[in-house]
Chains A and B, each alone.
Chain A
Amino acid sequence: MPDADTLLDARGIGKRFNALTVLSDVDFAIRAEEAVGIVGPNGAGKTTLLNVLSGAMPADAGHILFAGQDVSRLDAPARCRRGIGRSHQIPRPFGGMTVFENLLVAARTGGNAHGAAAYDRCVDSLRLCGMLPFANRRAEALALLDRKRLELARALATAPRLLLLDEIGGGLTDAEAAELVDIIRVIRGRGVAVVWIEHIVHVLVQVVGRLVCMDGGRVIADGPPDTVLRDAAVIDAYLGSAAHDHPVG
């Protein structure tokens, strides 16, 4: 049962794309201020789970409680306004707007901030993510890594209570990954709960206190990182094969 601390509680989530079952009977809960990593092979349903939690696509089955209220039927903007922010695996910047304006839309709509308070929040997010020097640049002119940082900064500008991150660490050098870890730690220090999908497990475990492993649309392990990474099913489904495809640390 969820305790009073539970921020998000998803039960029995199912999702199909025509004949293909992408998520089946997934339970996923996270406490306030907790950080959870999600790992699993490609096609495990990780991004779909994030899409269902953020409201980008409706679930076919199950219920989602956020801060004690049923948000299952709310669309993405409504969930964002209640405090669920997300980044996208393939960055989706507002290309025709400046970096600052990208954040301002987020701060004013999802974050419900006005006037100078909205400006301050955007500047703060840009500074935290190291994007302040690009504030006036059009987003379409950014390189891929800066687009990923923009995803993070823009999600932060909505002042989320729960931040859903989808592979923002892919392609980073060790130094850049260390910077990213520092940024996520600051975000956690502000009391934001974080769900982070990432293949780079050694980076992930520096931040998260709990690891969830998915395979074939199901959760196959959920617990402390050490335990999950030693789980036979996890090694079989993910780490064994991933050792060839992905740096797992």
Chain B
Amino acid sequence: MTQITVQRWTPAAIAFALAIAVVLAVLAAGPLIFPAGFTERLTALFVYVILGAMWNALAGYSGLVSVGQQAFFGLGAFVAILLSNAGVPVYAALLLAALAVGVLSLPIGEVMLRLRGGEFAIGMWVLAELAHLLVNLDPLVNGETGTSLIALDAVPAAARRADTYWCALAAMTALLGIVFLLLRGRIGASLQAVRDDEQAAASVGVRVLATKRVVFVLAAAGCALAGALWLATAITFQPRAYFSVQWTAYMIFITLVGGIGTFEGPVLGAVIFFAVETLFGALGVWYLVGLGAAALLFALFAPRGLWGAAQRRYDLRLLPLGFHVVLPTTGRIIR
């Protein structure tokens, strides 16, 4: 019988997508209308959104809990410096660095993705420490002395600020778009099946390793792009600052508070993290303790995060990642 239909886009979803388009259009004019300091802060926000979206794609949709994503963040910045020093135009170097780290993550994934659960998490942490040590060995970096993105240092501050802002906005938009299309398509459903039960997923035809590989490479390239963009705002590169586990702690906070396993959650989480950092960042160690405690409390008492809880409570289905079966007899969606 054909009266049963499968609904994806709803009027509310279309309205929400249009609202996102308007927000992005306003943000695109950012450097022309915002004060310099705010433009710089928003660039940081875009990087946080990327980090949150990548970690959520790994942990929330694929069950891959990584505590070593800073490996790719640091490698992205490092490779960007190498490429720039080799004569690649600096903004092209940021993108190429992300792609190069994505390629590098393929052989890494072959090893890491054979590990399960906690083994994978620890394996990724070891990988991050290893990457940090190897980068320290480079004579250019010279241990923790570090280096800087010299090519960008030569550009006037105002132009640099605006260009980096636009790059970060474009990167965030593109990566969110890719994650959206990925999760909405065949791979997204297969990923969630693998997350929920690997053996059952294999039994219905899902190629488990190949499916995980897609999201692992995407998250590696995305985190590398975030690291390269961070380098473009900070100019200086000290390995300790980029390979710090705090980056993964930020990703976890953003994802858990916003709503793990929801597409919109990490965006909300990044905005909250951004606000908290702006208000309390000066408190130093206590700020970090507060972040950790908040993430812990969310994990224990509100495991769906803010967006997940709101979605349940108000029955929101905004961006259409799932499938809803509409039965004709009542004309409404059964649940």
Contact = CB atoms under 8 A, between A and B. Distances in A.
Contact of A54 (B203, B261, B324): B203
Nearest to A164: B203
B190 A98 contact: no
B202 interface: yes
Given A96-B195, A96-B261, A132 B204 contact: no
Nearest to A132: B327
B137 interface: no
A101 to B, nearest CB: 6
Interface string A3-45: 0000000000000000000000000000000000000000000
Nearest to A103: B204
A92 B189 contact: no
A211 interface: no
Interface string A151-165: 000110110000000
Nearest to B5: A119
Listed residue (A77, A80, A104, A133) with the most chain B CB atoms within 10 angstroms of its CB: A77
Q: How large is the interface on B (under 10, 10 to 19, 20 to 34, 35 or more residues)?
A: 20 to 34
B205 A109 contact: yes
B22 interface: no
Interface string A66-89: 000000000111001100011010
Contact of A137 (B186, B190, B192, B335): B335
A108 B186 contact: yes
Given A94-B192, A136-B333, A109 B200 contact: no
B325 interface: yes
Given A135-B334, A136-B324, A137-B335, A109 B196 contact: no
A93 interface: yes
Contacts of A133: 334
B9 to A, nearest CB: 15
A56 interface: yes
Contacts of A139: 196
Given A93-B196, A109-B186, A100 B204 contact: no
Given A101-B189, A133-B334, A136-B334, A93 B197 contact: yes
Contacts, number: 108
Nearest to B186: A108
A168 interface: no
A175 B200 CA distance: 28
B200 A94 contact: yes
A93 to B, nearest CB: 7
A109 B323 contact: no
A168 B195 CA distance: 24
Contacts of B334: 133, 135-136
Nearest to A54: B203
Contacts of A235: none
B201 interface: yes
A111 interface: yes
A86 B325 contact: no
B83 interface: no
B100 interface: no
A112 B207 CA distance: 13
Interface of B: 4, 6, 186, 189-190, 192-193, 195-197, 199-208, 261, 322-325, 327, 333-335
20 contacts: A54-B203, A94-B192, A94-B193, A94-B196, A94-B201, A95-B196, A96-B261, A98-B323, A100-B324, A101-B192, A108-B186, A112-B205, A123-B4, A123-B325, A135-B327, A135-B334, A155-B203, A155-B204, A158-B204, A158-B205
Given A55-B202, A100-B324, A136-B334, 7 more contacts: A77-B206, A85-B203, A97-B322, A106-B205, A109-B204, A109-B205, A132-B325
Interface of A: 54-56, 75-77, 80-81, 85-86, 88, 92-98, 100-102, 104-106, 108-112, 119, 123, 132-133, 135-137, 139, 154-155, 157-158
